[in-house]
Amino acid sequence: MKHDRMKHDLKNPHPAVIIALILLLSIGLGFLSDFAITCFEKNAYKRDFGEYVSVYAHKYGVPETLIFAVIRTESSFDSGAVSRVGAIGLMQLMPETFEWLTDEILFEHLESGMLYDPETNIRYGTYYLSRLYDRYGRWDLALAAYNGGPGNVDKWLADDSYTDGEGGLRRIPFKETRQFVKKVTDAWDMYERLYGKEYAADTES
């Protein structure tokens, strides 16, 4: 008799059991879906050359997530990338900027061909970002200067038609620079969302 009742229960489960099973299945599918999306996003926002990024981020005080965002935007992690205007490597440094930094600032006198070397490019690109941040005190302005040149950013900041009244820029007149700042900022937000807690834990430990 008891065996027959169990068979009946299995064939006709209580509504509460059905609801519980549906909830458990929904949670499981939701977890798998979130996991798949996160894996896809992490593949799109990768962290190649992370060993160099970590070293020079800490050395020069630039967020690791920002450096990855710049590399992704500038070269898509292609160390051999060359832009139409001649910017080279992972962080797309202009040879003239590199020559100024290596000869007059760091006194290392490296050849411009070293820009194809991932570590050298990341080191100089990160150092240049840190100098621009020290100059302007804001990452959005540092990024604008990284792409459009500090001379242009200085001109825009001196023009009330471009400034926001709070030390920043309400409008960036160069379309390429405007798009660059937005792309890097959006990528930075994604890197922070995907990896920010990881870097925060490393800082605390």
Tokens in use for 21? 């099973």
Q: How many whole angstroms separate alpha carbon 49 and alpha carbon 146?
A: 21
Hey, CA dihedral for 180, 186, 188, 194, is it positive or negative?
negative
Which residues does 101 contact at the CB level (< 8 Å), separation at least 6?
A: 124, 127, 128
Domain limits, the chain: 2-43, 48-204
Q: Find, among 166, 62, 75, 160, the residue nearest to 121 by Cα.
A: 75
176 is annotated as an active-site residue = no
Kindly report, residue by residue over 84-128, the tens digit of the pLDDT. Answer: 999 999 999 999 999 999 999 999 999 999 999 999 999 999 999
State pTM to two decimals. 0.81
Q: Which CATH architecture has domain 48-204?
A: Orthogonal Bundle (1.10)
Q: Find, among 202, 204, 196, the residue nearest to 42 by Cα.
A: 196
Catalytic residue among 74, 119, 176, 198: 74
Average pLDDT over residues 21-44: 66
